Amino acid sequence: MTKKSNNSSSEELVKNFLKKNKNFFLKHSELLKELQFPLKDEGSDKVIDLQVYRYKKINQENIDLQNQMTQILLAGKSHMQSQKRILKSSLKILNCKSLVKVFSVVLSDFKTLLGCDYVNCFSTNNNIDLNEVQKLDTRIAKSYFREKAMTNLNQNPKGVLLFFPNKSAQIKSYILLKINYQEDMFVVAMGSKDINKFNPDQQVDLIEYLIKIIEIKINQLKL
């Protein structure tokens, strides 16, 4: 059998296979990139359809890549804005001269900082008497945090009732911040009406940085 007849036989096998598997290129569209198509032939609708499909596929991939890049740039811009807000709050806290001033900044800035609807503050130290800072049992407070954890995003339903007693029906998601103070701690609870606002997979590196700033400052201050 000659080389030409071998090629013809192979082509026939391919043609027969494609006729029996008409959805082949729909399932394996990536192969269209590897194929060479003839120029537009007025008498061949199939060639035109394949070319159109191929170009549509490539065009859609380009659009997807552009959308991904836009999302990356927007995320980067949002992160930079968050960094600026964190830095601004950090400078405010470092300039505070008393615990009252520190927690005034916490209660006012944190709502804007994280875009939440409610902020409550608690202390396990019974000697601390600050406006809007409520008392919280040490054992209960510790139960909401792993040993070295500074935040809690686990969305325990019991936490809603404990940390947002008057707004529990409106809270759909929340975050807890642990701020160590000598042998005690403060817990800042931030709640949102948006169920997607806080979740266990959320990045908290910037907010943990701010927690460290607060801890350093309040442990320098006297009651």
The CATH number covering residue 156 comes to: 3.30.450.40
Do 105 and 176 fall into the same domain?
Answer: yes
Q: Is pLDDT of 202 > 70?
A: yes
Q: Is residue 147 part of a domain?
A: yes
Q: How far apart are the first and last CA of the chain?
A: 100
Confidence of residue 125 (pLDDT cuts 50, 70, 90): very high
Q: Is pLDDT of 61 > 80?
A: no
Q: What is the rounded CA–CA span in Å between residue 191 and residue 204? A: 15
DSSP state of 40: P
Q: Is residue 80 part of a domain?
A: no
pLDDT tens column, 70-100:
555 555 555 677 778 888 888 888 888 899 9
What's the rounded mean pLDDT across residues 98-114? 87
What's the rounded mean pLDDT across residues 49-78? 61
Do 110 and 208 fall into the same domain?
Answer: yes
Of residues 118, 128, 131, the one with CA closest to residue 179: 128
| More confident position, 83 or 103 | 103
Q: Is residue 60 part of a domain?
A: yes
Residue at a domain's end among 22, 40, 64: 64
Q: Is pLDDT of 144 > 80?
A: yes
Put simply, whether the predicted model's pTM sits higher than 0.85 gets the answer no
Do 101 and 211 fall into the same domain?
Answer: yes
Do 100 and 195 fall into the same domain?
Answer: yes
Do 56 and 102 fall into the same domain?
Answer: no
Do 29 and 111 fall into the same domain?
Answer: no
Q: Is residue 79 part of a domain?
A: no
Beta bridge partners of 120: 189
Q: What is the rounded CA–CA span in Å between residue 89 and residue 176? A: 18
Residue at a domain's end among 40, 64, 88: 64
Quick one: pLDDT at residue 175? 94
Of residues 217, 201, 203, the one with CA closest to residue 114: 203
Question: Which of 59-68, 77-86, 204-213 has the highest average model confidence (pLDDT)?
Answer: 204-213
What tokens appear for 209 in the block?
């940085």
Overall domain count for the chain: 2
Do 56 and 107 fall into the same domain?
Answer: no
Domain span including residue 8: 3-64
Beta bridge partners of 192: 173
* DSSP labels, 53-120: HHHHHHHHHHHHHHHHHHHHHHHHHHHHHHHHHHHHHHHHHHT--SHHHHHHHHHHHHHHHHT-SEEE
